[in-house]
C-alpha cells in the first residue's frame, strides 16, 4: 500500500474548515471579551426586558457594566454561570482559535507536504480540534445545568420573579456553545479523518508511488534488474515458439539505428 492520493486534498479541506471556524470563533470570543470589559456596551430598556440585553447581562457583563440588574436572578439561582467565570473561557477560546488558524494554514501549504513534514503539523491540529470539542462540550453541559436549575424551581413561588426569557437565553447559550451540534460533529469527524491520514502519511511517506501499469496489474511489483542478465532476456513465464524465441533473443535481429541517416535497418527485411 502506497501513500494515499487523498491526503493532500483532505489536508486542504481540513485546513479550510479549521481556518474559517477559527477566525469566526476568535472574533466571537473577542467580542464577548470586550463586552465583559465594558469596551463594547449594550443599551437596555429599564421598562421592558429584551432578549439580547438579558443574555449580555446574565452571561457577559462585567462588574462595571450596567446592562441588566442580575441581583434577583443570582439570589434565586445561586449556581448560575457568572460572567467572571466565563471571562477565562473567552481567553481560552481566543488562544486555541489563534493556534487553530495558524496550523490550519500550515497544513494547507504545499512545501510542507513536499518536504514530508505534514505529520508534524497534523498532530497539533488534531489536538487543537479535540480541545475545541472538549471546551464546547464542557460549556454546553454547564449551560444545560443552568437550564436544569431553572426547571427545578419552575413550580416554586420564586419563579414568577425571574424573566420569562431566561430559559430561552439558557437554551440559546447551550446551542451556541455546541455550535448547533452540527459543527461539533463535523469537528469530531475531522479529527478521525486527520488521524487516519496522519497514520497513512507516517507509514507510507517514504514509499515510491507505483507506476500506472503496476497499479493496473500488468507489471510486477519487484524492480527490474537491467544488468544481471541483460535487459532483453525473455521472461520464463511467457510461452513463445522456438522461432520467435530465437529471433527475440538474438540481439543482432533487433533494428539498428543509423544516427547519421536516421534510417532503420533490419537484416530480416534488408
Domain boundaries, the chain: 7-204, 227-265
93 pLDDT tier (thresholds 50, 70, 90)? very high
User: Using alpha carbons only, what angle is made at residue 181 by residues 152 and 32, rounded to the nearest 5 degrees?
Assistant: 75
Output 219 or 131, whichever has higher pLDDT: 131
If pLDDT is split at 50, 70 and 90, which confidence band does 227 have?
A: very low
Q: Do residues 2 and 209 lie in contact, with contact meaning Cβ atoms separated by under 8 Å?
A: yes
Contacts of 257 (CB under 8 A, 6+ apart): 263, 264
8 A C-beta contact, residue 21 and residue 224: no
Confidence of residue 218 (pLDDT cuts 50, 70, 90): very low
| Cβ atoms of residues 132 and 187 within 8 Å | yes
pTM above the 0.75 mark?
no
pLDDT tens per residue across span 3-16: 667 888 899 999 99
pLDDT digits (tens, 9 = 90+) for 158-197: 888 888 899 999 999 999 999 989 999 999 999 999 999 8
Residues 6+ apart with CB under 8 A from 174: 140, 143, 144, 147
Amino acid at each position: 500500500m502506497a501513500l494515499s492520493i487523498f491526503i493532500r486534498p483532505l489536508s486542504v479541506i481540513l485546513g479550510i474548515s479549521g481556518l474559517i471556524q477559527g477566525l469566526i470563533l476568535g472574533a466571537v470570543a473577542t467580542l464577548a471579551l470586550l463586552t465583559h470589559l465594558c469596551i463594547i456596551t449594550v443599551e437596555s430598556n429599564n421598562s421592558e426586558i429584551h432578549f439580547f440585553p438579558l443574555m449580555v447581562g446574565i452571561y457577559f457583563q462585567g462588574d462595571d457594566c450596567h446592562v441588566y440588574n442580575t441581583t434577583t436572578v443570582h439570589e434565586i439561582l445561586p449556581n448560575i454561570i457568572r460572567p467572571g467565570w466565563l471571562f477565562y473561557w473567552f481567553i481560552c477560546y481566543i488562544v486555541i482559535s489563534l493556534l487553530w488558524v495558524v496550523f490550519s494554514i500550515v497544513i494547507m501549504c504545499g512545501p510542507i507536504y513536499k518536504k514530508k513534514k505534514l505529520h508534524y503539523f497534523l498532530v497539533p491540529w488534531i489536538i487543537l480540534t479535540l480541545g475545541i470539542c472538549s471546551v464546547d462540550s464542557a460549556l454546553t453541559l454547564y449551560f444545560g445545568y443552568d437550564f436544569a436549575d431553572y426547571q427545578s424551581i419552575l413550580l416554586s413561588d420564586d419563579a414568577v420573579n425571574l424573566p420569562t426569557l431566561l430559559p430561552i437565553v439558557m437554551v440559546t447559550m447551550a446551542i451556541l456553545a455546541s455550535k448547533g451540534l452540527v459543527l461539533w460533529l463535523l469537528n469530531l469527524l475531522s479529527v478521525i479523518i486527520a488521524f487516519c491520514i496522519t497514520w497513512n502519511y507516517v507509514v507510507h511517506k517514504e514509499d515510491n508511488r507505483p507506476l500506472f501499469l503496476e497499479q493496473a496489474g500488468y507489471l510486477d511489483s519487484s524492480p527490474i534488474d537491467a544488468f544481471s542478465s541483460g535487459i532483453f532476456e525473455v521472461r520464463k513465464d511467457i510461452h513463445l515458439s522456438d522461432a520467435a524465441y530465437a529471433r527475440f533473443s538474438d540481439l543482432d535481429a533487433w533494428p539498428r539505428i543509423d544516427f547519421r541517416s536516421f534510417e532503420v535497418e533490419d537484416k530480416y527485411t534488408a
